Amino acid sequence: MTTAFSVDQLSRPEVIRNPYPYYDLLRDQSPAFGYRDYPPGTMPGVDEPKPSWVVLNFDDVAAVAWDHDSFSSRDSLQEESSAPSLMLVNHDRPEHTRLRKIAAKVFQPSSIKSLTPAVDALVAACMDDFFVTDRPVDVMADYCAMLPSRVMAFLFGMPAEMDRDVRNWATAFMLSADISPQERQAYNAEAMAFFERHVKEQMDRIAKGEDTPGPLLNAFIRTEVDGDSLCFEEIVRFCMTATVAGAETTSFYLGNLIAVFADFDEIWQGFVDDPAQFDAIYKETLRFHGPPQRLFRVATRDITIGSAEIRRGDWVACFFGAANYDPEAFPEPYEFRLNRKNASRHMSFGYGIHRCLGAPLAQLEAESTARMLRERYKQVERAGEAVWQDISLLNHGLQSNPVIFRARD
């Protein structure tokens, strides 16, 4: 690694595995031009990404993410690809405002909190299925991969045995699986075909007054705001959006959280002694090991950021992961610290009108996982090298995370 590092090298495998030192090399140059990479759902090897500006400083990332009038979230590359566009993520106002009002009611905190018993049951079952006490376990191979998929299957009233399908759809869409364009396209088509059929069947059963499983799907179908509700196509695409985001990003977060417990014994012991520390651990893990790294915006007008003259139509990559390591915002960013007064300012759930609505669900899965680890085990130990994925810079997460869960005496 040298100071000659440039933005066009950000997609190299060694950078994806540990991007933060490379962000440091580029931060003084931000915004810098020439980065090429793929939005979610697009096809490496088929679609051709445009060169974009890279924004790395906390203040600049916040400014771009907040200024939705100057920076559009519509993604022409994804719209022109065979993959479905994501709901909310790829919408601008006024359509975004309408959709978010309905989705916000679906994801209201009280509704997510009511899912606690069901999520606890799924967490317990996954630990029973995949954890072996006092022996090495790669939590990324099963638990972290399958818990979020099982949660999404439950929320949509899908057969429990479709958890692997959910996992495959999510990794294909979010570019985390190293598969061919044909396989990726097939998974996208399979997912959309399933949800089109499944949503129609669910709507028919509801119309007949029948009881239906799937609390999140039921909410998408039933929820109205000011007399407005989602149409069939919008419900299908919301299902796709929630599936790929809820299964993939949460999977990486759970792995990163368990890595914190295994790699920072004082954090684990502090949590064992005082479970009230979890809120601070949760937030600092989102900053320190936050999965979401970047999303694209498109300039709607000529605008200046720092010394960069960004033109209308230019792509801009907002690097939320780099903002989380900006020392001007988070002093000593390479230290895992629970006493950060600005811990809630992390960018891992985005910023502005596009801040992630599914954050409470991700937190519920993380809280349940941490609580049951504490109840079941006295220690979480590193059992082998933690290997970080190097396929896509969309998410920072582990490919392999071997640990040992030590039994209580």
Per residue in 115-134, pLDDT (tens digit) is 999 999 999 999 999 999 99
Assess whether pLDDT exceeds 90 at residue 71: yes
The rounded mean pLDDT for the chain is 92
> How far, in Å, CA of 138 to CA of 132, rounded?
10
> pLDDT value at position 353?
78
What's the rounded mean pLDDT across residues 85-92?
Answer: 71
Specify the amino acid at residue 326: D
What's the rounded mean pLDDT across residues 186-193?
Answer: 92
What backbone torsions phi and psi does residue 385 show, to the nearest 5 degrees? -65, 135
> pLDDT value at position 1?
44
Question: Taking the domain 7-407, which CATH number applies?
Answer: 1.10.630.10
Q: How is the chain split into domains, by residue range?
A: 7-407
- Tokens for 355, please give them: 């801040």
Q: Which of the four pLDDT bands, split at 50, 70 and 90, describes residue 79?
A: low
Burial class (CB in 10 A: 0-12, 13-18, 19+), 106: buried
> pLDDT value at position 176?
77
Assess whether pLDDT exceeds 70 at residue 80: no
Q: Which of the four pLDDT bands, split at 50, 70 and 90, describes residue 84?
A: low
What's the rounded mean pLDDT across residues 257-278?
Answer: 98
Assess whether pLDDT exceeds 50 at residue 62: yes
Assess whether pLDDT exceeds 60 at residue 231: yes
Q: Among 5-9, 120-124, 178-182, 388-392, where is mean pLDDT lowest?
A: 178-182
Q: Which of the four pLDDT bands, split at 50, 70 and 90, describes residue 281?
A: very high
Please give the span between the terminal C-alpha atoms of the chain, in angstroms, as a whole number.
46
Assess whether pLDDT exceeds 80 at residue 88: no
Q: Which of the four pLDDT bands, split at 50, 70 and 90, describes residue 32?
A: very high
> pLDDT value at position 87?
62
> pLDDT value at position 78?
63
> pLDDT value at position 4?
85
> pLDDT value at position 203?
97
Tokens 């929630």 appear where?
Answer: 242
User: What 3 state SS string does the chain have?
Assistant: CCCCCCHHHCCCHHHHHCCHHHHHHHHCCCCEEEECCCCCCCCECCECCCCEEEECCHHHHHHHHHCCCCEECCCHHHHHCCCCCCCCCCCCCCHHHHHHHHHHHHCCHHHHHCCHHHHHHHHHHHHHHHCCCCCEEECCCCHHHHHHHHHHHHHCCCCHHHHHHHHHHHHHHCCCCCCCHHHHHHHHHHHHHHHHHHHHHHHHHHHCCCCCCCHHHHHHHHCCECCECCCHHHHHHHHHHHHHHHHHHHHHHHHHHHHHHHHCHHHHHHHHHCHHHHHHHHHHHHHHCCCECEEEEEECCCEEECCEEECCCCEEEEEHHHHCCCCCCCCCCCCCCCCCCCHHHCCCCCCHHHCCCCHHHHHHHHHHHHHHHHHHEEEEEECCCCEECCCCCCECCEEECEEEEEECC
- Which of 90, 242, 236 minimizes the C-alpha distance to 166? 242
Percent of the chain at pLDDT > 70 equals 96
Could you tell me how many residues make up the chain? 409
> pLDDT value at position 3?
53
Tokens 């009881």 appear where?
Answer: 211
Dihedral over alpha carbons 90, 96, 99, 101 (to 10 degrees): 130
Per residue in 194-224, pLDDT (tens digit) is 999 999 999 999 999 999 999 999 999 999 9
- Which of 155, 143, 194, 61 minimizes the C-alpha distance to 361? 155
Taking the mean position of all CA atoms in its chain, how far away is CA 225? Answer: 27
Tokens 């230290």 appear where?
Answer: 335
> pLDDT value at position 2?
46
Assess whether pLDDT exceeds 90 at residue 100: no
